[in-house]
Amino acid sequence: MAVFDPAVHLAYEAPKHHLSMADIGLGHLKTLSSVACTDPFPLMSLEGVKALREEIFAKPIVENFHMKHALAKCQLRGYAPDFAPFTAALWTHPDTIKACSEAAGMDLVPIMPYELGHINVQAKEGLESLGRDPLPPLPALVRSESDDSSDDDTPEAEEVVHWHIDSYPWVCVVMLSDASTMMGGDTALEGGDGKIYRVRGPQIGWAVMMQGKYINHMACGAWNARERVTMVTSFRAKDSSLLDDSTLRTIRICSDVNDIYYQWASYRLKLLSERFQGKYDQIQDKKHAAGLQAAGKFTDIIGKDDFKEWVSEQIKYLQMTMDEIV
């Protein structure tokens, strides 16, 4: 089994373009960034894709972490880090996090271990037919882009993941299949005016960054290819003082609740501890800067209204943390 090495397994180049929230009619929403979704950009080398496939299609993962639910017909999730050390090392490495952050235009961190690289699968012959080689022999029939013929029985009529809004602010989606003959397989975004915007499917090893928490979107089916396999990892802002309106809404139905609730509680408490430490440090800095005459004066050092507003925000965050555990 390969050991993750960014020099070997990453091939990052910054995206050249992106759709903004304003571009798709959602500029009025309170979000972390003005970026809605990037164009596809190189992230993984072919060696990196092969190493991921070798790990995720191993028998223990396929047998124990395969699931079907209301949003997706075939997923693998919840296997990292115990069953997938390469996957976990990839998404927690500083170079990968730096690449995803640069593409998104802000500093990000993975949301929690359970969300390190779940897999969405579309396979004409079923999950069991998938090999570890991302470059299998091409299908016998190869349609050209100019071929307008349609077939109601082809898999492009079926979504890989149905319309949904993500539970977490940011997501990185990486293509792990040979897309050289693939048609379809793009991501559809619903704009604020009801218009559907499409982000073309990435090439093998390429990725997109998207603020999926704020955009209704769908992973469209592909055709003219044996498979469409993508890896999805979720992120939040690294700065704990920034907005974190994550929920468990869309992932509770497809997760081991014992694992996800433990990790949810852990990350939320850690984030709160960072916020409280930051506020304490801020108060102490203001006290020292004010000098002895102002020392101990609540209104001069902290400010009653500002402090009460901050505390209220933390109470709401803690309440949501509890409410999502059902």
Token output for 240: 């704990």
CA angle 69, 63, 82 (to 5 degrees): 95
Instruction: Give the Å distances, CA to CA, from 234 to 22, 74, 128, 136, 221.
Output: 23, 18, 26, 29, 21
106 lies in the same domain as 26: yes
223 lies in the same domain as 75: yes
Q: DSSP for 206-232, please give it.
A: EEEEE-GGGS-EEE--EESSSEEEEEE
What residue numbers bound the domain in which 240 lies?
6-136+155-255
Instruction: Give the Å distances, CA to CA, from 69 to 73, 175, 252.
Output: 6, 22, 11
How many distinct structural domains can be found in the chain?
A: 2
- Give the global pTM: 0.87
Using DSSP's 3-state secondary structure scheme, residue 76 falls into strand
Residue 45 lies in a domain: yes
Q: Which one-letter DSSP state was computed for residue 72? A: B
Cβ-based neighbours of 28, under 8 Å, separated by 6 or more: 192
223 lies in the same domain as 279: no
Residue 202 lies in a domain: yes
302 lies in the same domain as 168: no
Task: Tally Cβ neighbours within 10 Å of residue 178.
Answer: 21
pLDDT per residue rounded down to tens, the chain (326 residues): 799 999 999 999 999 999 999 999 999 999 989 999 999 999 999 999 999 999 999 999 999 998 888 777 788 999 999 999 999 999 999 999 999 999 999 999 999 999 999 998 887 666 766 766 666 544 433 433 334 333 333 444 466 778 989 999 999 999 999 988 888 888 899 999 899 998 888 899 999 999 999 999 998 888 888 888 999 999 999 999 999 999 999 899 899 999 999 999 999 999 999 999 999 999 888 888 777 555 557 777 788 899 999 999 999 999 999 999 99
Residue 34 lies in a domain: yes
